[in-house]
Structure 1
Amino acid sequence: MEWTWIIIGVILAIVAIAGSILPLIPGPPIAYVGLLLQQLRDEKPFSTNFLLLWATIVVVSLVLDYIIPIWGTKKFGGTKYGVWGCTLGFLVAFWLGPWGIIIGPFVGAFIGEMIAQQNSNIAFKAALGSFVGFLAGSFLKLVICFFMLYYILTSI
């Protein structure tokens, strides 16, 4: 039975890695479930503090996944209109599927900046910031999921 938990944990971690790239699949929480399943083995490989630390990391990564594109918009010169556009673009596009989550913040920030400044160069730069923020968030999730996969594999 022990190998069943190991195999399921590894599969969940691999799905989580894919979910870090594909929107709508929550990568880090899925990998965390794989980590938790290892505790069902005969010898528990992880301490409670270790699992609480990773739970905190997963929650923080989920929060940052929404904040980083907004931060990217501001960092690339976006105004509050671009930030609001990025946020609204994400919320509206979230319901449109995976491509909507990628394109929504970009288009929202662009439209917000066009409303504020009507300068397409500044608007494009702010929209690019939201896309860079999305990529940074995806990279962060990838790193977290790879670490959890590493811990699952080293617990064997």
Structure 2
Amino acid sequence: MMSIVWIVLAFVCLLAGIAGCIVPVLPGPPLSYAALWLMKWSGTADFDGRFLLLWGIVTLAVTVADYLLPAWLSKRFGGSKYAATGSLVGLLAGMIFFPPLGPVAGAFLGALAGELLYDSSDTGKALRAACGAFVAFLLGTGLKLGASLAMGFYVVRALFV
């Protein structure tokens, strides 16, 4: 009976994790990772320690990358350190004050504002830096979604194999 509860909770975590890759309020990959653990505890999946450690590292990496990519890519798109800092501040402020779309707009507007504070004469450069922050959001979302779907594959496979 308890194994059924673990399996149901695993699928709830998995679905919430996949949704959380798109909705910034939910921690997508950590929820998907929890689904792996729940399947192990159910006795249905035979995941070993190395497998779970690997997916734990992947989960940590994509989660951290999702927060750092907007600042890094806004700088790679030609922005200054002000754009990178503005992107990070905007992302965090958007996440706190305007979920679920706040992080996207916040990273974009933060990079734009930061670059305009640094050099208000070059709006084209500021827009490129802001576009870098937006591209980073898309890349981070793709990484999270890929990781969560891959973990989902193992959860579903454990149920049917």
> For the superposition of Structure 1 and Structure 2, which TM-score range results when normalised by the shorter chain?
over 0.9
Deviation at residue 41 of structure 1 after TM alignment: 2.2
Question: What residue identity is the alignment partner of 1:120?
Answer: T
Q: Percent identity among equivalent residues?
A: 37
**Can you list the C-alpha shifts for 1:94-140, whole angstroms capped at 9, x where unaligned?**
21121211111100100111111211111111001001101100000
Structure 2 residue 48 is matched with structure 1 residue 47: yes
Structure 2 residue 116 is matched with structure 1 residue 132: no
- Whether the 8 Å CA contact 2:21–2:29 is kept in 1: the answer is yes
Matched with 2:77 is: 76
- Whether the 8 Å CA contact 2:44–2:158 is kept in 1: the answer is no
TM-score, structure 2 length as denominator?
Answer: 0.91
Stretch deviating more after TM superposition (21-30 or 95-104): 95-104
The counterpart of 1:148, out of the listed 123, 141, 151, is 151
- Whether the 8 Å CA contact 1:16–1:145 is kept in 2: the answer is yes
Question: What residue identity is the alignment partner of 2:111?
Answer: A
* Aligned-partner Cα distance in 2 for 1:124–1:103: 13
Residue segments in structure 1 that go unaligned for 5+ positions in a row: none
In the TM superposition, structure 1's runs of 4+ consecutive aligned residues that sit over 4 Å from their partners are none
Matched with 1:20 is: 21
Matched with 1:104 is: 106
Stretch deviating more after TM superposition (117-126 or 130-139): 117-126
- Whether the 8 Å CA contact 1:6–1:152 is kept in 2: the answer is no
* Aligned-partner Cα distance in 2 for 1:148–1:31: 6
Over 3 Å counting, the alpha-carbon distance change for 1:135 and 1:43 in structure 2 is closer
Question: What residue identity is the alignment partner of 2:16?
Answer: V
**Can you list the C-alpha shifts for 1:48-87, whole angstroms capped at 9, x where unaligned?**
1111111111111111111111121012111111111111
CA RMSD of aligned residues (A): 1.3
Over 3 Å counting, the alpha-carbon distance change for 1:76 and 1:47 in structure 2 is same
| Aligned length, in residue pairs | 156
Deviation at residue 31 of structure 1 after TM alignment: 0.6
- Whether the 8 Å CA contact 2:74–2:131 is kept in 1: the answer is yes
Residue segments in structure 2 that go unaligned for 5+ positions in a row: none
Stretch deviating more after TM superposition (8-17 or 139-148): 8-17
| Residues 21-36 of structure 1 aligned to structure 2 (within 5 Å) | 21-36=22-37
